[in-house]
Structure 1
């Protein structure tokens, strides 16, 4: 039997720390079982609740205000703030239940994180960096049902506990060095395909990672969250699954300083 995280928003306690040393809420979720499938990453692993979750309004906003390279028109988002707020409120009203599939949960929480990050920026716009905003990740800024959450809670307390390292390339922190924000909303139908695409694009983006056989320079994402990428092998093993330029097992890895400047469309 395969266990799926049925992320019910129940008892939350500050008891663990993120890769950057920040306290986060630990979301305690019961487990439910589902018959194993031959391919757990299949894009056909959709939820019976798919018809109840409509991400089309978010998809429309992304297609208008996010460029193909991931740069964001925050001024444009500001002009459509009401539509963004309506989508965020819609997400808040859809509390996950234990009959949601893993794909539905992943899509839901990725969209929750990305939409609320955009809201954080436009609520404080103009700003040069998300880090110029007071307590951007730890302050409770969003609701799901009756529970208050921070962005760190969603990332570290929920998404990272799904044992899916590709989420790091799906969520966006509104900064130049982040994996790009896709201009397509995640859904239960496309989440596996889009996470795979985002991971491959980020790893092979020469502005984010400098790949070479012996002296690669990697994004600090791989340093901060190394444990997420090494559950089934080394960090190099993980990267080489996607890298067009393979890294040698005995390579000397260095890291590129993170650029927190806003990923704003010129």
Structure 2
């Protein structure tokens, strides 16, 4: 009789132990899924930009070199957490813009001293960007990922480390601020007299609008796109020319 009583007492205890283990496993699984769905934190990149890039987009590459460990730490974070289907469009865009810009800075630092990004052999085609065990080049990120997201303003956000490029924004792009940031860089670049000369009836604009004309014409013409951001209203039939591109380093 005592033997049966002991068994009856132990059974509920064993059962309860099993239930606790099941709950624990379920909880751990849920946390793991949440972690995988989190977007990348761009605070490290933001701090580096605030420290080493002026408001007018001039980059202090020598100072950036001193922050090499911090930059590598951010690049490692980008590699560890790439966009997935749970990410919003803005979070994904912000990730790839920041990735392009951060690895461009890394490319320049790894090849200093140079006077132009073109001093580097095949800078845009080189697959030196490691993200989640896959290698990318800058041109792959630009043409195969960013441009396919149908957002022409990315051309004012990604920076090719050159004088004629749109300025490198001295803050990181983020999911919550992306729309405002893209509008800011579009207006800033289009109205920058060193990059574009605009009058009502004659414009001499950046080669970017020639190279990627198709991206800007999807909702009309290049001029109609410019008029969304230009402080000067441009005649739809204005004479159009393109400026020579200055590939000097943006330092």
Bucket of the pairwise TM-score, normalised by the shorter protein: 0.7 to 0.9
- Structure with more of its chain in helix, by fraction: 2
- The CA distance in 2 between the partners of 1:188 and 1:51, in whole Å, is 12
- 1:97 equivalenced with 2:84 (yes/no): yes
- Cα-to-partner distance string for 1:4-63 (whole Å, 9 max, x where unaligned): xxxxxxxxxxxxxxxxxxxxxxxxxxxxxxxxxxxxxxxxxxxx9896421101000000
C-alpha displacement at 1:82, in angstroms? 1.0
Give yes or no for contact 1:138–1:151 (8 Å, CA) kept in 2.
Answer: yes
C-alpha displacement at 1:95, in angstroms? 2.0
Residues 7-86 of structure 1: pairs in structure 2 closer than 5 A: 52-86=39-73
Pair member with larger Rg = 2
SS at match of 1:121: helix
Look up the match of 1:39. none
Residues 201-240 of structure 1: pairs in structure 2 closer than 5 A: 201-240=188-227
- TM-align CA RMSD: 1.3
C-alpha displacement at 1:149, in angstroms? 0.2
Residue 160 (structure 1) aligned to one of 147, 168, 171: 147
- The CA distance in 1 between the partners of 2:82 and 2:233, in whole Å, is 42
Which consecutive residues of structure 1, in runs of 5 or more, have no partner in the other structure? 1-47
- 1:184 equivalenced with 2:158 (yes/no): no
Give yes or no for contact 1:49–1:100 (8 Å, CA) kept in 2.
Answer: no
Look up the match of 2:245. 258
Residue 149 (structure 1) aligned to one of 136, 141, 144: 136
Give yes or no for contact 2:39–2:87 (8 Å, CA) kept in 1.
Answer: no
C-alpha displacement at 1:166, in angstroms? 0.3
C-alpha displacement at 1:226, in angstroms? 0.2
TM-score by length of 1: 0.80
Residue 127 (structure 1) aligned to one of 96, 111, 114: 114
- The CA distance in 2 between the partners of 1:262 and 1:123, in whole Å, is 14
- 1:197 equivalenced with 2:167 (yes/no): no
C-alpha displacement at 1:142, in angstroms? 0.3
- The CA distance in 1 between the partners of 2:39 and 2:153, in whole Å, is 25
- The CA distance in 2 between the partners of 1:177 and 1:244, in whole Å, is 20
Q: 1:51 to 1:98 in 2, by over 3 A?
A: closer
SS at match of 1:253: strand
